[in-house]
Structure 1
Amino acid sequence: MARRTTTPPPEDFEERIVDIDVSAEMRASYLEYAYSVIYQRALPDARDGLKPVQRRILYSMSEMGLRPDRGHVKSSRVVGEVMGKLHPHGDTAIYDALVRLAQPFSMRLPLVDGHGNFGSPDDSPAAMRYTEARLAPAAMLMVQSIDEETVDFKPNYDGQETEPSVMPSAFPNLLVNGASGIAVGMATNMAPHNLGEVVAAARHLIKRPDATLDELMRFIPGPDLPTGGTIIGLAGVRDAYETGRGTFKMRARATIEDVTPRRKGIVVTELPFNVGPERVVTKIREMVTAKKLTGISDLKDLTDRHKGLRLVIEIKNGFNPEAVLEELYRLTPMEETFGINNVALVDGQPRTLGLRELLSVYVDHRLDVVRRRSAYRLRRREERLHLVDGLIVALLNIDEVIQVIRSSDDSAAARARLMEVFALSETQAVYILDTPLRRLTRYDKLELDREKESLQADIAELTAILASDERVRKVVSAELAEIAKTYGTPRRTVLLESSDAARAAVVPLEVADDPCLVLLSSTGLLARTTDAAPISGEGDRAVHDVLVSVVRSTVRGEVGVVTSKGRMIRVSVLDLPALPPSANPPSLAGGHPVSEYVSLETDEKVVGLGSLDPDGPGLALGTAAGVVKRVVPEYPVNRDEFEVIGLRDGDVVVGAVELSSADHDLVFITTDAQLLRFSASSVRPQGRPAGGMAGIRLEPDARVVWFGAVDPEREARVVTVAGSSTALPGTQMGAGKISDYADFPPKGRATAGVRAQRFLKGEDVLLLAWAGPAPAKAVSAIGKPVPLPDELGRRDGSGVRLVHAVAAIGGALGTDLGSSGASGPSDEEAGAAGLADDAGGGEPAS
């Protein structure tokens, strides 16, 4: 093992130790570090809105020639160039700044055109070796005319390179793209704005330097965030514009839509600034799991590259989507607070600036840039004009010039003799000597004359600009206007003075179990009203449908759908779409097809609705074979569907009505134009398995075409439409007749009834029939009104030829609900007319 030797310290070693106060050293070192962070890293310059690293990135990419018309290069190449020459603070910081300049959700006007995965509000970008970048078109405005001595340059960190101390910045980048950064003892957080609005305010300030904040806010009413959304509360925005500090709330943009046939949902298309969909989804799931957020049944993130952001939040039945949305705003990042802190460097010192100060600093900077640019261009054109004047002299005296040059011993002598003979300056003489002989032609003389005129015009224009502050301001204003025209985009963020929280607070989270009416139309649409007000068949506009059945219920209750095969199927009223209470007469255009709620067989259709209330009046059924039944309302509570009548083979239910009183009449109308009315009290209620009892006595070839209930105390009408049983379906209009219901005498149950219409030649069957409260209404297969003939005095008279085919007939429904239904066409007529199989109506004719 080798011995380790040490050299003894010199005798004066102790004299080299310097005593330093630790607190003073720490204070000085920390201040030096703080200044470095403030001035060299965290805060943007108020003139160009760029931090040093951002400025160095744009300048390096410009020097590398990475213009928008060139191809992308690897981001790592850009990072290496910036780090090696200008920014020795590590590649991670440089790449993070490069990525942010390229993110459209971070920058209102991106300055870098990125190719590859540059991240999302929730995800980090790919590594720099995988992504590529080049300057965006807007970045060319930042470096525009930087080589025309418009800004000062300073040495880089090692003194071997130079870098701009500020960018020319042809548009107000700080206000347009905002900024954020944390320094030592201070921070900045500035919101992005709309380019067109900022330019308009800047031009107004250029024209009127004494403009007030109120005048400027007419052009800039508030921030315009890259992700859109809604800003709530403009008082905080005004505070920020006035003092440089303020807060406002950002809300996601959401709409309430029908996400499924039975459920509504909240569709979110825009989120607050710097909030990603993954963060929102995670928070919602946490709140639902913790039972702090109720009413949500499902959550889907359907965001993609083509359609953009789309979060679908499905709401449970029984909850108000508006109230759930307010809870989402309160408990999740769908509503966030943005704190404005406009701290930027002005003359190298951090200052908190209001809107007017920010615009003033930029306008002053831009005026200085245009002056310096104009002075540079003036000097260059004067220098060029001096050379052009010398060339013109040489061309006018070309032979003498050549003779002087040929007779000179060397270039120095030639230069001196040219200056002496032609009164040229040294610069002109050198330029003539350096000019190739091929340029000294008559054609070049014409070009030089034109160039001289152009130079003189430019010099006059630039001189006028530099001599007038007003001209400089006009140039800056015109350039800003052109930039806004080229790069301006519409506002994305909606501004609201205050939230609707007070209004939303009165909306209960859960839907109240209020009374309502469940409606079934002749075209097979189901809906519910928002209240239980009586429905009037009269109105200012035509009803483009007629109602087959109306049942009272509650919003959280259930009703039964009765089919032609004697089944009753439970349907939740909450699942049905609610019609607005102002609809009078009700329009079923907002209803949903009944086939979305019940599964029907091929030859099965819906004939009516029934209440499931055990204390209700009960259901009355009529079949095609003339059977009538009143059902005892004792329905099973644990089954979704069950039979309400035992049908014989070949028989079907043609009508089902909810009886509101046992004193009402039950009415049968048959295909051979017989009508029988008898009191419902004559029919004994039976249990569900029972097959009913005889209702009307039929002829051998006759069938029941319509069955329903009518209040004998009310004014009622009977409508019948006759036609030929041999005609092709859908080819005949039929003959219609309206009679007074009181003209038909009541008869006992199980009798044949009386004639309702006399058949003319070619008629042998009733196509449609209906009885109910006046006035009667008819519609076509597409729901359009069809005029009916005037009432005929005789109950057994013949009909009047109709001008349009009738698909369904109904009447006015008032407080006496369930007392009538609507008559529909036969299966053949419905198929020819395009009517749905599940539309309510009568049994098809034989």
Structure 2
Amino acid sequence: KATVDFQPNYDGSQEEPTVLPSAFPNFLVNGGTGIAVGLATNLAPHNLGEVIDGICAQIDNPEITLPELMQLIKGPDFPVSCEIRGIRGIEEYFRTGRGSMRLRGKVEIEENENGKSLIVIREVPYGVNRAVLQERIAELVNEKILTGISGMRDLSDEETRIEIELKRDARPQVVVAQLFKLTSLETSFSVNMLAIHQNRPKQFSLKEAIDAYIEHRRDVIIRRTRFLLGKAEERAELLEAFLLALGHLDDFIKIIRDSKNRDEARERLGSYKFSTATAEKLGILIRSQAAVQGDRYVFSERQVNAILELRLYQLTGMEQDKVKGEYDGILIDIKDLLDILAREVRVLTIIKDELRVIRDKYATPRKCPILAEAGEIAMEDLIANDAMIVTLSHRGYVKRTPASEYRLQGRGGKGLKGMETRATGKDAPDDFIEHLFSVQAHDYLLFFTNTGRVYVERVFELPEGSRTAMGRSIKNVLDLKPEEKIAAMLRLERSTDENGHDNTFREGAGYVFFATRSGKVKKTSLNDFRNYRKAGLTAINLEEGNDLIGVNLTSGEDEIVLVTRDGMSIKFTEGVYKKPQGELAEGEEPVEEDSGEEDSADEEGRPQIRPQGRATAGVTGIRLRKDDYVVGMAIASEETMLLVASENGLGKRTSFSSYRALRRGGLGVKTLNVTDKTGKVVNAVAVTEQDELMLMTSTGQSIRIRVSEIRETGRVAQGVKLLTLKEGEKLQDISLVIPDGEDSPGDDTSVDASEGESGSVTEETTE
């Protein structure tokens, strides 16, 4: 269809196209490698669907920015499902035409039937030979460079599966890091987007490559349209001759019969002229065709020959109708083709429509996930900042689940089915949820361990799973030491400066406040955690037998509330202590003004809790009675209230103003009258009227309720029923939920406490 130019081949014996009229962006989608004198090209393949979406977006908005384009074309996509590490390298070659990125094989850590750890290679990087990779690993093992590996076998068939068995004392994360560093399990892929454009080599950026493709397709479509228009005009020319001949059939038959031979007939027909008005009456469209000369329609030689070749059956009425119908159809095509040539928007629309047909038929999901390089914080630009629920089980399985999967229910409901779990003894194999946290996808999570160390992860880097999924072992996510277990978690909302740079851990951003089971507290500047590492940092020194109970962000002048298992509480300020005035409230016990500790802040103007470094143990926050221990910590404010929940499913909200501020280190006052009916306190959190609460039971059931449904009560009241518990079931933990904007209807099985179901507490009690 004459869509591209032709040129002689290398020896002039034939002609070849200067460029192929590609229906899809082959250069970007399939990539390619080439070497010439002083020039080289190496371009990674990209996802067909993403590239077509990017081209359509650039057609709609020629001024589209690179970040906007990268929302659609996220990066290269190789035929194998390896991991792409590094956004900056992708952004660099998208912007300049040159750049590089790291490719990693997919690795999982499993356990075999003997309890030994296995490193399972599920995919190798693009271009890496499995046999060569295994030879390199064996070589490093024989040279005693990789000392933690005891065996390796290749179980690959259609899918890659290379099992590397580790020694019992080997740390899987360390061996994986060594494999990435020392073998081709991690490689570099360099991009040089060089191509011949208009007979010259050119370094293309992504936008320039798309522009060149759009211009190429524009030229192809215009030339194709002109070709089709020419063919349509040629056919219309013959059909017009037929219409004129059939309209003057008697005259034409007489001319042919009176002619001595074909040449005379051709000459006499050629001299037969019609007015344009006569032609129009026969349905002929008068336009700029060659047969129109002024106000006369004159047959061309081609038309005369076509008339002479008419057969007798074509003179029937039915054949005349067919000629007229075909001519009318061709006129529609001609008008459409002329409209395409006249309007640029039609050409661009055709480009998009033809690309979308290819996308809908051939596009496949992305194979290669794109992950951020260590220290590179840019993935959030490609990920929606959705509300998430992060859970960590007793046996150390972590996952993130969209908050929308937890539908809202009424107070006292039966709950939703969670992970298949139940509380058991420490030697039992069953599991249960131990930590539940509500976050946004872009947030940071600080994981504090029982040994006092902290690990920092982005929420979107955690494994995603459904509400009923088990999740992934935390040891496969964090580089934990064998004896470490997660004790507390802290959410940090990501923040940026005016230049868009991440400054979450900036100086003056606040303090990390710690509370331990034994009643110790301390605060450390958030800035002290800015240089976090994959291997973790020391966050607090913990003596043997002590555990972290809570971690919070504070301003340095906040009021802290500690709540114990036996229902005691104390409120004190981080800042300068001011002795309370007035008589003791009901249930409030006298508190010694001096705790008797050397670390007390007795001096005028000195804060009670002074900032300390990471490797410190803290000071006494509350004095505990025998067998009592701290279960919860909250930050007091005028906008929030203290919500306390007990293991038998009761809870209450109390204003923080009901608790007078005391000197840290005292015994505190009663916050819940603990009885057999209430059970011990399980947790305490600060809430607002608009908050939502997630409740988790010992059997793995979960229920999401509004805080506003929980009645405000006095300080020592037992509260109201939060949920219905089965026999032997206990409330295990509570957590605030970040609202996701969807108030789902309650479960059909939910029962409000007001229905008077057995065991519910609907009236405020103080007994």
For the superposition of Structure 1 and Structure 2, which TM-score range results when normalised by the shorter chain?
A: 0.3 to 0.5
TM-score (normalizing by structure 1): 0.42
TM-score (normalizing by structure 2): 0.46
* Larger gyration radius, structure 1 or structure 2: 1
Higher RCO (CA-CA < 8 Å; seq separation 6+):
2
Q: Greater helix share, 1 or 2? A: 1
